[in-house]
Amino acid sequence: MLAKPPPFAALLCAALATGCVAAEEREAVEFDFLHATIIAPSCATSNCHSAMTAQKNLDLSDAAATCDTLVEGGWVEDGVLISILHGDATFFPAMPPDGPLPQGQIALISRWIEEGASCE
């Protein structure tokens, strides 16, 4: 007779079976979400890229203006944004300067880019 698996094993199997979602089935990443949860708290702070300080003349406090800047300015298409976030950009320092974003946040920004970097 086979032993009954521990409860955590059953939960792990269920999580693995339902947790993987095909790319075409997952919801698109919306820029407003990225801005509110990652960019505004990590970049548009009082010491960096806020409306008041705008280091390097870059104000990231407004979602629509930020998206236009990133997309129309070539930051997305040329891979500059992701290079800066990973800290391997040739002409730019790693951002944010006080430490890198968590890999999950960078992955979410990368996914937004892969999905077409829509500002809608």
Q: What is the pLDDT of residues 47-95, one digit of tens each?
A: 899 999 999 899 999 999 999 999 998 999 889 899 999 988 888 888 9
Quick check: is 85 in a domain?
yes
Do the domain assignments include residue 16?
no
What's the pLDDT at 78? 85
Number of domains the chain contains: 1
Which domain, by its residues, includes 72? Answer: 28-114
Q: Which two tokens stand for residue 85?
A: 């976030």
pLDDT tens-place string over residues 11-60:
334 444 444 556 567 899 999 999 999 999 999 987 899 999 999 899 99
